[in-house]
Amino acid sequence: MDLDLSDEQRAFAAAVTDFCKRETGTRAQRDALTGNGLHKHHQGLYQKIADLGWLEVVESGMVDMCLFLEETAYGQAPIGGFATSSIVAGAVSRFGSPEQQKTVVGGTAAGRTFSIAMSEPEAGSDVAALSCRAVATDAGYVLNGQKTWCSNAHFADAILLVARTGGVAGEHAGLTMFLVPADAPGLRISGIDTMGGKEVNDLYFTDCVVPEDAVVGVVGDGWKQLMAGLNVERLILAGLMLGTARRAFDDTLAYVRERKQFGRPIGSFQALRHRIADLATEIECCKLLVYRTAELVDRDPSRVLPRESSMVKLKTTEVAREMALAGMQMMGGYGYATEYDMERHVRAALVSTVYGGTSEIQRDIIGKTYGL
């Protein structure tokens, strides 16, 4: 598909593609960087990318961001910290103080990583149910409570925390954002083992004191500030899954062209040929939706796009999951074997329909934009 990109954007995407081919182009390279798939972020590789100036895309538009995310995901570059760092940088760039912007936005461009802590054991899709408390004192704020499913907190420099400073659980009012150093006294980070490896964590705040200037934006306006970042968060996740879907497709295509049964390549059988055609069409639809939505955001970054951002997250993650599972099915036992990348694609794609707002929540939001 021919996107309406500038020459500079095309050159940027090509450069990222070439970098990934050199640095993560073989299974041996990827295994060495990730501990055989256990870890999703390699700081040394991340720093190489930062030194090239490419992480400055966090200060650019969403089309540029999606190009970077798509190509690094396709190239299977283990830089998982960039997605959460970009989400945090988006919030801080909109609402943070100049010093916070220097720390987070400038820090991300330089190779630092950040995490976001919002979900709790009893508050996932229902954000209003948050109960982690931040109580104002003469010393600043005292944080108490638990957060869960916090991606990349185990290696982040700081965490964007959403806590309750007022109101009661069940209300959107009274939520506030804080920037908390990951090594703050009173904060304990405990990893959660998952089928995807070491990605997420529980966070325990016990009388954790942060200064008043740790507040990001306005006290009590955390919900409004979260809503303002939906475009960026959902596009970031969609860009990643577009790259994953493309990679799973190409790996599948290469296999069905080479694998022979009954004296011919299995891709020549109509059942598989038609399946490949359908999946290719779905991925092209995703690409159009991702970059159309990114262009809309770039035209007016202050405009919230609940319908479009939910559509792009829903469609791209669902297609990525469908593509990875179909790839495993077409590869048979080899798709299930750890010798091939397909099982990693499956593990990456399955969770994408859950994090950042489940597919069910995205459908509900889309329906509401039509007055239902």
Residue 23 lies in a domain: yes
Based on the domain organization, do 283 and 238 belong to the same domain? yes
| Cβ contact 65:111 at 8 Å | no
Q: What is the pLDDT confidence band of residue 340, given thresholds at 50, 70 and 90?
A: very high
Known catalytic residues?
A: 233
CATH of the domain at 132: 2.40.110.10
Based on the domain organization, do 67 and 155 belong to the same domain? no
Based on the domain organization, do 234 and 360 belong to the same domain? yes
CATH of the domain at 358: 1.20.140.10
CATH of the domain at 70: 1.10.540.10
Residue 143 lies in a domain: yes
Mean pLDDT score, 303-318? 96
Based on the domain organization, do 164 and 134 belong to the same domain? yes
- Per-residue model confidence (pLDDT) at position 128: 86
Tell me the residue range of the domain where 215 lies: 115-221
Residues 224, 226: Cα–Cα separation, whole Å: 5
Based on the domain organization, do 146 and 102 belong to the same domain? no
Based on the domain organization, do 102 and 179 belong to the same domain? no
Q: Which of 183, 201, 221 is the last residue of a domain?
A: 221
Residue 343 lies in a domain: yes
Based on the domain organization, do 264 and 331 belong to the same domain? yes
Cα radius of gyration (the chain): 21
Residue 199 lies in a domain: yes
Residue 2 lies in a domain: no
Q: What is the pLDDT of residues 3-23, one digit of tens each?
A: 789 999 999 999 999 999 999
Residue 62 lies in a domain: yes
The pTM score is 0.95
Based on the domain organization, do 267 and 361 belong to the same domain? yes
Q: Which helix (H) or strand (E) holds 278?
A: helix 270-299
Based on the domain organization, do 58 and 186 belong to the same domain? no
Cβ count near 3 (within 10 Å): 17
Q: What is the pLDDT of residues 103-154, one digit of tens each?
A: 999 999 999 999 999 999 998 888 889 999 999 999 999 999 999 999 999 9
What is the number of structural domains in the chain?
Answer: 3
Based on the domain organization, do 334 and 233 belong to the same domain? yes
| Cβ contact 89:104 at 8 Å | yes
Residue 276 has pLDDT above 90, yes or no: yes
Cβ count near 143 (within 10 Å): 25
Q: Which of 113, 144, 160 is the last residue of a domain?
A: 113
Q: Which of 221, 250, 282 is the last residue of a domain?
A: 221
Based on the domain organization, do 301 and 188 belong to the same domain? no
Based on the domain organization, do 148 and 257 belong to the same domain? no
